Homo-oligomer: A and B are copies of this chain.
């Protein structure tokens, strides 16, 4: 199953960091703050500007993106996996290796 996002929406798989203490004990996921990074899974075709033109997207599938701590509450389930739906405007930037 695949999702085609509309307009300037971006589907993001949130990065899951291993939660281990210094002593190597694995912490339950809920105990840690979720990382505000993820991998872009799908991008829309771009928002439609006031004069009707499509504004091309600034992120691409495969990009690692950073977003704000108050973003990421809109989620969808695709094949049992929870993915984030972001507007491109919620994305701060792209991490470059």
Residues of A within 8 A of B (CB): 1-7, 9, 11, 36, 42, 44-45, 48-53, 55, 58-59, 66, 68, 74, 76, 85, 88-89, 91-97
Complex interface: chain B residues within 8 A of A9 (CB): 92-93
Tell me the complex Cα distance, A66–B82, Å: 13
Tell me the complex Cα distance, A35–B39, Å: 25
In the complex, given contacts A3-B93, A4-B95, A4-B96, what are 17 additional A-B residue pairs having Cβ atoms less than 8 angstroms apart? A1-B97, A2-B96, A2-B97, A5-B93, A6-B58, A6-B59, A6-B92, A9-B92, A11-B93, A48-B55, A49-B50, A50-B51, A66-B76, A68-B85, A74-B92, A76-B92, A76-B93
